[in-house]
Amino acid sequence: MNVVPLDQLWVYLSGHPLLSLLVTLLAFIVAVRINRALGGTPLVHPVTLAIALLIGFLLLADIEYATYFEGAQFIHFLLGPATVALAIPLYDHRERIRRLLWPLLLACGVGIVTAVGSTLGLAMLMGAQPETLLTLAPRSVTSPIAMGIAEQIGGIPSLAAGLVLLTGSIGCALGPGLFRLLGIRDPAVQGFTLGLAAHGFGTAHAFARIGAVAGAFSGLAMGVTGLLTAFLLPLIVTLFGL
């Protein structure tokens, strides 16, 4: 019986798409267990921790990102159906959303202007280059939209995606404390705020930690913010002279 050398076996496995899929799932399972062991603290978000574990694995195994993504794209494909599925809780609370439609739209507009304006203002004061500024600008919307906007206005799409993840992590970490500090207990307000400031991370946190109402309003805020940002951001960037 022929025995395959370990180095040849590893070369075969490292290039197999199923390895990327398996490692991704295992990294997330481990990250969730660690987060639960720490009491579910938002300071150690499972997604952020899973990303760190995956980066460490890819570096140790010397696997290129393109090779990894050949297998991970199966999970990436599910992002679309998962986003569409957010319409279900929105439909369940459609009457309340219809009554609050204009205040919600106004809140999204103010949130976008505040997020983009404060980000660009602080970055300009710190001497950031124009390309960096244009990459930072869409950091408060979900990754696919942020990458598309960054590419269109002259930023760096891949860096924009990383900044979006960082923004979501910070939003989930700071959000609960700010709600307690300001005495905000309405799940709709909490969810909408998380979706507006922390996009997909905030929506997942709202569903898991607060409830279905918070998740519905968070998903609404995430979607509306992404849509409005695509129209408003070029105007705001122009006002800053970029």
Query: pLDDT at position 233, please?
Result: 83
Residue whose C-alpha is closest to residue 169's, from 201, 192, 191, 144: 201
Selected residue with higher pLDDT from 94 and 10: 94
Residue 14 pLDDT: 54
CA 87 – CA 32 distance, rounded (Å): 26
Give residue 188's identity as a one-letter amino acid code.
A
Which residues 6+ apart lie within 8 Å of 191 measured at CB?
Answer: 202, 203, 206, 210, 213, 214, 215, 216, 217, 218, 221
The residues, ordered by sequence, that sit 6+ positions from 115 with a Cβ below 8 Å of its Cβ are 139, 140, 197
**What is the reported pLDDT for 3?**
44
* Higher local confidence (pLDDT), 242 or 62: 62
| pLDDT at position 96 | 78
**What are the C-alpha distances in Å from 57 to residues 18, 43, 62, 110?**
15, 22, 8, 41
Which of 4-8, 12-16, 89-93 is the least confident region? 4-8
pLDDT for the residue 88: 74
Q: 95 falls in which pLDDT band (50, 70, 90)?
A: confident
Mean pLDDT, the chain, rounded, equals 80
Output the 3-class SS for 5-62. Answer: CHHHHHHHHHCCHHHHHHHHHHHHHHHHHHHHHCCCCHHHCHHHHHHHHHHHHHHHHC
> What is the structure's pLDDT at 1?
45
The arithmetic mean of pLDDT across residues 229-234, rounded, is 83
pLDDT at 81 over 80: no
CA distance 53 to 91: 37
User: What is the model's pLDDT at position 238?
Assistant: 84
